[in-house]
Amino acid sequence: MNPQVAGLQVALRAHGLYAGAIDGVAGPGTAAAIRTFQGRAGLQVDGIAGIRTRQALGPLGRPLLGRRILRPGAVGWDVSVLQFLLRRAGAHAGGIDGRFGPATRKALVRFQRRSRLAADGLAGPATLAVLDPSGRQAPLQLPTRSVRDSLAYWAGHYGVDASLVRALAWQESGHQNHVVSTAGALGVMQVTPATWDFVETVLVGRRIAHTADGNVRVGTAFLAHLLRQFRGDERLALAAYYRGPAAVRRYGVGPETSRYVANVLALKQRM
């Protein structure tokens, strides 16, 4: 269960595409509704609520919880998630509709008083940290690690061959976090903003600090996802990391991507 998914479900319901429970579970009904919406909106139909899909959903498709302080009158994805969390905490019996009205404020104040927080009716970092102890609403704070330590740690965490992760990072940036590509890819793993958003929203369910360690985590989590998608085939997963999974499925690997994959796999033998 991921509270951010509740925001997606409310947005899809507003478009008449989701009739299930607002439960934060990305089940078959939610996935089918996303695909239907993407098809109608002329987007890539992949069943993933990435940044373009959420933008197309309109006011209820953004922003993610934790990007702003919520106050009465606010409308958005984050309000839906707040209402979901308040209901889960037993403080809110009203609807979950993404609109911060009197009932939501009353529920929030009730929760704040019960939790011995400042009962100001505003959902800021302190309130959200208590409301959702999982940390999905705030950047994850991690101890400072060297890049090499981060690569080893997150490879183990996500069950990916550490030599493969080190090789990919070397191919992408030479293990340097200051590198920025002409396409806007960032850091050690050369992560694009869209991929970072996808990993936060879909794979991890929480915000990830924009540090070298966070960059390694995002890239490794995405690689692990691609390995699952391509049934453990490292060649196809690396191709998808470079070219995008949809392009690999539709057009294959291609000469340029084949050279990239060969370089990474050769590096893996020396890492």
Q: Tokens standing for 176? A: 């340097």
Tens of pLDDT, residue by residue over 87-102, are 999 998 889 999 999 9
pLDDT of residue 265: 94
Instruction: At 158, list the tokens.
Output: 């996500």
Annotated active-site residue in 172, 200, 234, 256: 172
Which domains does the chain show, CATH number per domain? 3-131 (1.10.101.10), 147-268 (1.10.530.10)
Active site residue 172: yes
Residue for token pair 């470079």: 242
- Residue 166 and residue 147: Cα distance in Å, rounded? 10
Supply the mean pLDDT for the chain: 88
Tell me the pLDDT of the chain (271 aa) as tens digits.
778 889 999 999 999 999 999 998 888 888 899 999 999 999 888 777 877 888 899 999 988 888 888 999 999 999 999 999 999 999 988 899 999 999 999 999 999 999 998 889 999 888 888 888 765 543 323 345 688 888 998 999 899 999 999 999 999 999 988 888 877 889 999 999 999 999 998 898 888 888 899 999 999 999 999 999 999 999 999 999 998 999 999 988 889 999 999 999 999 988 7
* CB-based contact 148:122 (threshold 8 Å): no
What is this structure's pTM? 0.55
Give the pLDDT of residue 146: 83
Which helix H or strand E contains 219, and what residues bound it? Answer: helix 212-229
Q: Could you read off the pLDDT of 38-57 as tens digits, one per residue?
A: 999 998 887 778 778 888 99
What is residue 70's predicted lDDT score, i.e. its pLDDT? 92
Per-residue pLDDT of 151-193, as tens digits, reads 998 999 899 999 999 999 999 999 988 888 877 889 999 999 9
Region of residue 254 (left: phi > 0; alpha: psi -120 to 50; beta: else): left
